[in-house]
Amino acid sequence: MGMHGIWFEDAYYFGTNSASRKAKNLQQNPHCIVINDKLDELLIVEGLAELLAFEDLPEELSKASKEKYGWPIEPHKGGTVYRVRPRVVFAFPLQQIATAVTRWKFE
């Protein structure tokens, strides 16, 4: 499912309503992938979606969200924030797909 989010300090952060299908699915299985929207420079990030309390979010994350989207990340009724730290990243450059596919592993 497509969604807005923000890369910040080596992790991807996104929000959803705690009653949403996405939140329920992640509660059952936190394994997920994140992809970019540039198909000619495709990146696929595998990781675990970790539910965070608002007080555990990095201080500058809200500022980064305001700069990118025009709104800060603030606690609100029903909202949740997840962090995905990369475990494996694949890069698929379309012009060199036969020779330049790359994989990185993170501990």
Handedness of CA 63, 45, 20, 83 (dihedral sign): negative
Asked if the structure places residue 44 within a domain, the reply is yes
Give the CATH number, domain containing residue 64.
2.30.110.10
Q: Count of CB atoms within 10 A of residue 70's CB? A: 7
**Per-residue confidence (pLDDT) for residue 77, from 0 to 100:** 67
Asked if the structure places residue 88 within a domain, the reply is yes
78 — pLDDT class (breaks 50, 70, 90):
low
Residue 3, pLDDT above cutoff 90: no
Q: How many domains does the chain have?
A: 1
* Span 15-63, pLDDT tens digits: 888 899 999 999 999 999 999 888 788 889 999 999 999 888 998 998 9
Cα R_g (the chain), whole angstroms: 15
Asked if the structure places residue 95 within a domain, the reply is yes
Q: Are 95 and 101 in contact (CB under 8 A)?
A: no
Asked if the structure places residue 1 within a domain, the reply is no
Asked if the structure places residue 10 within a domain, the reply is yes
Q: Range of 56's domain?
A: 6-105
Asked if the structure places residue 77 within a domain, the reply is yes
pTM over 0.95: no
